[in-house]
């Protein structure tokens, strides 16, 4: 037996041992993880396997970030999900997820779950996903949409990865541009930061039939005197829910007096946190708050309901 054959045989034996230890999930996760670390360099030397096919329907999916949590909560079956990320408890959805498992974000716990699919966005969990990839775990990097036009392709990719029909994706509505005389909307964040053009949020505002109050840079620290002197027709302010230094700008009496109560808009906050098929309903919420008769002139963006849950 030559050295090459010995290496392959040894690799096979170690893989078998690793699988046995990984099955003892509660008792030996650290041992299995250690063996996998030792095994990783050997697997790079072994010839690639062409036998194991990709799973059509993964049944041990793990999410590493909030946006993947949202997509799984919308489209995956409960019994497919091995764990959602820790973020799903900090930023809950309006529909119940009681009984859905979660992980603590540690390498050891994610590895011990024996996932057959790990979903993560391109900007999230950088160190964790790199370590999982080093251990040959099935990490799938999902690029989040940067434009409204990219949402449908993003949803189709996630549906395909979790074994669902990509045709179940919500189609994007026809692009809309606000009228030249459309009312101006200020998207106001904490610490007096406003969202301007060339942002994903700006696309939402314009698709809903509003003009963006800000026309300069993407994100701008607002001047209170300027806003009071030339107030927008409406402000969308996502309040943190408690008094804090970050809310002083929005709570200033001069600003409150310059915008009538009807001009302080309200939407579901969770729909802003990640792009996805729920964005179409967010656009409809903004459109319905346009002054009459503008809101009656624009078609709704509402897409067909999800096969599992309504976004």
Assigned architecture for domain 184-297: 3-Layer(aba) Sandwich (3.40)
Q: Provide the pLDDT confidence category of residue 241 given band limits of 50, 70 and 90.
A: low
Strands (E), the chain: 61-63, 81-83, 117-121, 139-142, 184-188, 193-195, 211-212, 219-221, 234-237, 264-265
| 254 sits in which H/E element | helix 253-258
Percent helix, percent strand, percent coil in the chain, to nearest 5 = 45, 10, 45
Residue 66 exposure: Cα atoms within 13 Å on the Cβ side: 14
CA-based nearest residue to 11, from 46, 61, 52: 46
pLDDT score of 211 more than 60: yes
pLDDT score of 38 more than 70: no
Q: What mean pLDDT do residues 81-108 have?
A: 91
Tokens representing residue 144 in the block: 């989040």
* C-alpha–C-alpha distance, residues 42 and 44, integer Å: 5
* C-alpha–C-alpha distance, residues 130 and 117, integer Å: 15
The model carries a pTM of 0.77
pLDDT in tens, 245-291: 668 888 899 999 999 999 999 999 899 999 999 999 999 999 999 99
Q: Provide the pLDDT confidence category of residue 306 given band limits of 50, 70 and 90.
A: very low
* C-alpha–C-alpha distance, residues 115 and 118, integer Å: 7
Residue 121: DSSP 8-state: E
Helix (H, G, I), strand (E, B) or coil at 62: strand
Count Cβ atoms below 10 Å from residue 238 Cβ, excluding itself. Answer: 15
pLDDT in tens, 18-32: 455 444 444 545 555
Residue 298 has a pLDDT of 53
User: Is the separation of the CB atoms in 255 and 227 below 8 Å?
Assistant: yes
Q: Do the domains 184-297 and 61-168 match in fold?
A: yes
Between CA 232 and CA 174, with CA 292 as vertex, the angle to 5 degrees is 85
**Domain segments of the chain as ranges:** 3-44, 61-168, 184-297
Q: What mean pLDDT do residues 235-247 have?
A: 70
pLDDT score of 205 more than 80: yes
Q: CATH classification of 61-168, choosing from 3.40.50.1980, 3.40.50.300, 1.10.10.10, 3.30.470.20?
A: 3.40.50.1980
pLDDT score of 140 more than 90: yes
- Most confident range (mean pLDDT) of 33-42, 52-61, 256-265, 299-308 is 256-265
Q: Which residues pair with residue 265 across a beta bridge?
A: 236
């Amino acid at each position: 037996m030559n050295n090459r054959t010995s290496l392959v045989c040894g690799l096979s034996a170690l893989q078998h041992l690793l699988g046995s230890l990984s099955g003892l999930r509660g008792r030996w996760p650290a041992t299995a993880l250690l063996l996998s670390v030792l095994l990783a360099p050997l697997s790079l030397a072994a010839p690639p396997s062409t036998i194991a096919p990709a799973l059509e329907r993964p049944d041990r999916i793990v999410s590493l970030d909030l946006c993947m949590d949202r997509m799984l909560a919308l489209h995956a079956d409960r019994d497919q999900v091995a764990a959602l990320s820790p973020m799903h408890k900090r930023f809950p959805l309006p529909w119940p997820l009681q009984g859905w498992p979660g992980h603590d974000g540690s390498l050891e716990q994610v590895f011990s779950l024996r996932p057959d699919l790990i979903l993560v966005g391109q900007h999230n969990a950088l160190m964790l996903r790199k370590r999982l990839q080093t251990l040959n775990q099935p990490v799938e990097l999902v690029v989040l949409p940067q434009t409204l036009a990219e949402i449908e392709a993003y949803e189709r990719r996630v549906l395909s990865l979790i074994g669902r029909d990509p045709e179940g994706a919500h189609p994007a509505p026809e692009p809309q541009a606000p009228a030249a005389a459309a009312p101006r909307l200020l998207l106001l964040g904490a610490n007096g930061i406003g969202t301007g053009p060339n942002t994903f949020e700006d696309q939402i505002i314009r698709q809903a039939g509003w003009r963006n109050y800000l026309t300069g840079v993407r994100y701008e620290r607002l001047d209170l005197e300027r806003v009071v002197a030339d107030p927008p027709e409406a402000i969308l302010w996502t309040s943190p829910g408690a008094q804090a230094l970050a809310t002083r700008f929005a709570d200033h009496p001069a600003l409150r007096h310059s915008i009538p109560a009807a001009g302080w808009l309200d939407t579901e906050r969770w729909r802003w946190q990640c792009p996805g098929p729920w964005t179409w309903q967010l656009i409809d919420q903004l459109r319905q708050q346009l002054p009459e008769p503008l809101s009656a002139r624009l078609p709704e963006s509402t897409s067909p309901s999800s096969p599992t849950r309504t976004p």
